[in-house]
Amino acid sequence: MIPWIQDVIDLTIPHTCASCRARITRQPAGLCVNCINKIEVLVNGCDHKLTQRLGKRKTQIARAFALMYFEQHGVTQHLIHKIKYHNGEHLARYWGRYLGSLLQSLGVYSDVKLSLLIPVPMHKRRERRRGYNAPLHITYGIQEVVGDKALVCNSVLTRVKHSKSQTTADFNQRYQRLTGSFCACPLPAKPDIIIIVDDVMTSTSTIGHCAEALRTVFSNDIHAVALAFTA
């Protein structure tokens, strides 16, 4: 895009911080500097609770990572909300790049020649209503950083069951409700690892069911990443 066109867009359509609504100019993070500083980051992309939750069920996931803690009514909730519901494709991609850098710095890619990046799919009906699937755009951001070692694959995993909002259900209820929600098709390549990508990881039950479905077509390590994690 010609630079002056961007200036005109910035002047006519002012950008606001996704959390405090302060006016911001050309801030691809979608947040003002004050709000960015309030984000609580997971050291090394993981913590004790996340590891514990993964081990709780036989979810068959080797490792899971997230960038930040999900804080109710806080900056992270506002950011994720914008990414999910307000044409947040660009934001999703921007923050996805950070996830890509995180995976690289943690050595996930050190012995890997090819990985498949698989976004948690949305049911077709919901995707039509919302217009896009945020995890897919986070996945594009990761791929931008990782390059040839990552192949974005949006067609392997399908959501076959439309599930209602899970916010009030406990871990067991969530897990039960999601049974049979996903199915996997044969892989288009032979990757060393698969990485499942989501926006928020709550009970790990969604990721667990995705991994279970993928186990029917893949036997090596499956990892999971998300922008935020509910501690």
Residues that bind Zn ion (CB under 5 A): 17, 19-20, 22, 32, 35
Nearer to Zn ion, 23 or 126 (CB): 23
Q: Cβ closer to Zn ion: 37 or 165?
A: 37
Nearer to Zn ion by C-beta: 14 or 186? Answer: 14
Task: Give the nearest distance from C-beta 24 to Zn ion in angstroms.
Answer: 7
Q: Minimal distance in Å, beta carbon 186 to Zn ion?
A: 45
Could you give the residue ranges of the DSSP H alpha helices within 73-222?
75-85, 89-105, 124-130, 134-146, 171-177, 205-214
- Closer to Zn ion by CB, 19 or 203: give it: 19
Among candidates 231, 6, 225, which has minimal Cα distance to 95? 225
Nearest distance, CB of residue 19 and Zn ion, angstroms: 5
| Alpha carbon distance 27, 88 (integer Å) | 13
Token pair recorded at residue 47: 């913590």
Which of 39, 30, 5, 22 has the alpha carbon at shortest distance from 84? Answer: 30
Torsion of CA 25, 30, 68, 128, to 10 degrees: -170
Cα separation, 177 vs 174, in Å, equals 5
Give me the least distance between CB of 169 and Zn ion, in Å please: 32
Q: What's the closest the beta carbon of residue 40 comes to Zn ion, in angstroms?
A: 15
Residues in the chain: 231
CB of 81: closest distance to Zn ion in angstroms?
Answer: 14
Buried b (16+ CB within 10 A) or exposed e, 28-59: ebbbbeebeeebeebeebbeeebeebbeebeb
The smaller minimum CB distance to Zn ion, of residues 20 and 145, is found at 20
Q: Please identify, using beta-carbon distances, which residue of 74 and 158 lies nearer to Zn ion.
A: 74
